[in-house]
């Protein structure tokens, strides 16, 4: 029997035949299947679910906690406690600017608990603490701060400032009160020496004690009063050397166009009797910090009432015209004012000589050879000698007037009385000094 299978036809036959069959089946199937399936499914599902759940839970819990145990448990988990100590309280406190303030410092708990205690004055950043400031500026600002903060007396601070301003503008301050310092931070000694050699062509300022504040201008890299002075000092003394950071003392003298030309060595200026630039010190050095200070404690109207720079009169002029000489009280009052200046200069000179004799190595009877440019007694001694000589010259001029000297002396009492009645107190240094207020009494006794 022959069975043939083709393609995909399937047949099932049930035949019961006893046949011996040899079947040879050869099946060759070649199947090539290429299936490309592209499925794009876009599903947009919008689900809006609104769930409103109202849950009311009432829980009543009764917890019995031991406070001491809980405190000990919390404390054990914390770091060790810090001990706070009293340091300082500033009351009152005057804030002028960032990092510039002053106040009455109460250093202990006892002072803080007792407001009547004055405490101490604490000043930070104010110009009175600057080491380059002149002693005049530091003293005036410090005195005003003490009266405002420690004594709660603004009127006394204003009176103190006005008195010092009058002393400044009338020329009664010592030259040592105008000394300032500057650091040579931007130039080295080699630059100073090179600038001195470059400016040495004019020859101004040569000699150890000669020259003045004038001279050829310094190069651009050594600008500044202290730097310009360093150049001139190198010209006078070629052997002198400056180092980087050295602080140089200087004073600004009158008669110069710029501060670089006005700078001079304080000791040399005092020995020559040079006059400081009073208007410059007032307008540029003292007035700005005073305005800043009083602007915080005074009203604008009171601030405008402060002295604005008009030169105060130190007393009657020493030279009298013919009309003044004929007045019966003008000459005696003026003469006594000059005598007062002469006596004041003698007192200052005696005190300075005593101070210098106590510290110099020549002994009490030796000659004073001290030239310490950083000592206030040196400037007081040199200034008193200069004022004493000037007062003597004025007295000689007045003694040569038409009226006899004996008549002048006889009319002294009447002149002093007339002068005091008219408010003429030529010898009063500043308001508030009790010693200076009694000068007419001493003049009458004389």
Computed over every residue of the chain, the mean pLDDT equals 74
CB 221 within 8 A of CB 166: no
Give per-residue pLDDT as tens, 4-48: 444 444 445 454 545 454 556 555 656 565 656 565 656 565 657
Which band of pLDDT confidence, cut at 50, 70 and 90, is reported for residue 333? confident
pLDDT the model gives residue 376: 84
Task: Return the sign of the alpha-carbon dihedral for residues 14, 15, 21, 24.
Answer: negative
**Tell me, what's the pLDDT at 138?**
93
User: Is residue 106 predicted with pLDDT exceeding 50?
Assistant: yes
- Please report which confidence band the pLDDT of residue 433 belongs to, taking 50, 70 and 90 as the band edges: very low
Indicate if the pLDDT at residue 176 is higher than 70. yes
Tell me what the mean pLDDT of segment 313-332 comes to: 64
> How many angstroms separate the CA atoms of 127 and 243, rounded?
26
* Three-class DSSP category at 137: helix
Higher pLDDT, 273 or 370: 273
pLDDT at 7: 45
CB distance 92 to 86 below 8 Å: no
Question: Does residue 166 surpass a pLDDT of 70?
Answer: yes
247-252 sheet: strands from edge to edge:
180-183, 247-252, 263-264
Tell me the pLDDT tens digit for each residue of 225-252: 888 888 888 888 888 888 888 889 999 9
Question: Where is pLDDT greater, at 257 or 8?
Answer: 257
- Check whether 124 has a pLDDT greater than 60: yes
On the question of pLDDT at 415 being above 60, the answer is: no
Q: With a cut of 90, say whether residue 218 has pLDDT above it.
A: no
- What does the pLDDT average to over 176-201? 81
pLDDT at 211: 43
pLDDT number for residue 170: 86
What is the rounded distance in angstroms from the CA atom of residue 213 to the CA atom of residue 251? 10
Give the closest residue to 426 by CA, choosing from 277, 320, 327, 312: 312
338 close to 330: Cβ distance less than 8 angstroms = no
DSSP 164-188: HHHHHHTT-S-GGGG-EEEE--S--
Edge-to-edge strand list for the sheet holding 120-124: 89-97, 100-106, 120-124
pLDDT band, very low/low/confident/very high, at 179 (cuts 50, 70, 90): very high
For residues 288-296, average pLDDT = 91
Residue 227, classified by CB atoms within 10 Å of its CB into exposed (0-12), middle (13-18) or buried (19+), is buried
Query: 141-165 burial, b for 16+ CB within 10 Å, e for fewer?
Result: bbbbbbbbbbeeeeebbbebbbbbb
Determine what percent of the chain is predicted with pLDDT higher than 70.
66
In this predicted structure, what is the pLDDT of residue 24?
60
Neighbours of 241 (CB within 10 A): 12
Q: Looking at per-residue confidence, does 332 or 415 come out higher?
A: 332
Band (387; pLDDT cuts 50, 70, 90): confident
- Between 402 and 57, name the one with better pLDDT: 57
| DSSP code string of 364-413 | SSSPP----TT-HHHHHHHHHHHHHHHHHHHHHHHHTSSS-HHHHHHTHH
Residue labelled with tokens 């000037």? 390
Residues facing 247 on adjacent strands: 183
pLDDT of 266: 92
pLDDT at 358: 79
- Among 63-72, 151-160, 220-229, 417-426, name the most confident range: 151-160
Instruction: In whole angstroms, give the CA distance from residue 229 to residue 223.
Output: 10
Residue 78 or 54, more confident: 78
Inter-axis angle of helices 412-421 and 330-359, to 10 degrees?
Answer: 90
- What is the model's pLDDT at position 29? 52
> With 60 as the cut, is the pLDDT of residue 157 above it?
yes
Residue 134: predicted pLDDT:
92
Band of pLDDT at residue 159, cut at 50, 70 and 90? very high
CA distance 293 to 138: 13
Query: Which residue did the predictor score with more confidence, 424 or 261?
Result: 261
Instruction: Output the pLDDT for position 18.
Output: 55
Q: Which domains does the chain have, with CATH numbers?
A: 68-173 (1.10.132), 176-199+220-275 (1.10.132.60), 322-361+371-402 (1.10.287)
Place of tokens 């200087």: 250
**What is the percentage of the chain residues whose pLDDT exceeds 90?**
17
Answer yes or no: are the C-beta atoms of 407 and 393 closer than 8 Å: no
């Amino acid at each position: 029997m022959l069975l043939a299978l083709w393609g995909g036809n399937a047949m099932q036959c049930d035949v019961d035949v006893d046949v011996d069959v040899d079947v040879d089946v050869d099946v060759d199937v070649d199947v090539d299947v290429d299936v490309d399936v592209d499925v794009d499914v876009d599903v947009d599902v919008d689900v809006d679910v609104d769930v409103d759940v109202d849950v009311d839970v009432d829980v009543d819990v009764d917890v019995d906690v031991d406070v001491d145990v809980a405190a000990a448990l919390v404390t054990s988990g914390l770091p060790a406690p810090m001990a706070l100590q009293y340091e300082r309280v500033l009351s009152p406190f005057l804030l002028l600017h960032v990092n510039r303030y002053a106040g009455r410092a109460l250093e202990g708990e006892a002072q803080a608990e007792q407001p009547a205690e004055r405490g101490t004055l604490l000043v930070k950043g104010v110009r009175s603490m600057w080491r380059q400031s002149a002693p005049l500026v530091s003293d005036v600002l410090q005195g005003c701060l003490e009266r405002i903060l420690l004594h709660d007396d603004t009127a006394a601070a204003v009176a103190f400032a006005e008195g010092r301003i009058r002393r400044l503008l009338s020329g009664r301050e010592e030259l040592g009160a105008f000394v300032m310092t500057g650091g040579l931070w931007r130039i080295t000694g080699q630059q100073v020496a090179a600038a001195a050699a470059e400016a040495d062509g004019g020859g101004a300022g040569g000699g150890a004690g000669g020259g003045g504040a004038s001279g050829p201008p310094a190069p651009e890299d050594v600008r500044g009063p202290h730097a310009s002075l360093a150049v001139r000092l190198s010209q006078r003394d070629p052997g002198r050397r400056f180092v980087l950071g050295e602080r140089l003392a200087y004073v600004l003298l009158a008669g110069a166009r710029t501060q670089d030309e006005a700078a001079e060595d304080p000791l040399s200026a005092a020995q020559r009797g040079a006059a400081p630039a009073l208007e410059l010190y007032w307008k540029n050095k003292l007035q700005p910090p005073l305005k800043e200070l009083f602007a915080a404690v005074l009203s604008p109207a009171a601030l405008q009432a402060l002295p604005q720079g008009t030169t105060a009169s130190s007393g009657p002029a020493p030279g009298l015209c013919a009309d003044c000489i004929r007045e019966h009280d003008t000459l005696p009052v003026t003469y006594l004012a000059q005598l007062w200046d002469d006596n004041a200069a003698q007192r200052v000179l005696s005190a300075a000589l005593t101070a210098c004799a106590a510290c110099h190595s020549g002994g009490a009877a030796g000659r004073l050879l001290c030239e310490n440019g950083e000592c206030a007694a040196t400037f007081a001694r040199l200034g008193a000698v200069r004022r004493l000589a000037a007062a003597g010259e004025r007295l000689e001029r007045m003694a040569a007037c038409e009226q006899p000297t004996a008549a002048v002396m006889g009319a002294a009492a009447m002149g002093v009385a007339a002068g005091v009645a008219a408010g003429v107190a030529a010898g009063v240094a500043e308001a508030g000094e009790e010693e200076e207020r009694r000068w007419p009494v001493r003049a009458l006794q004389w």
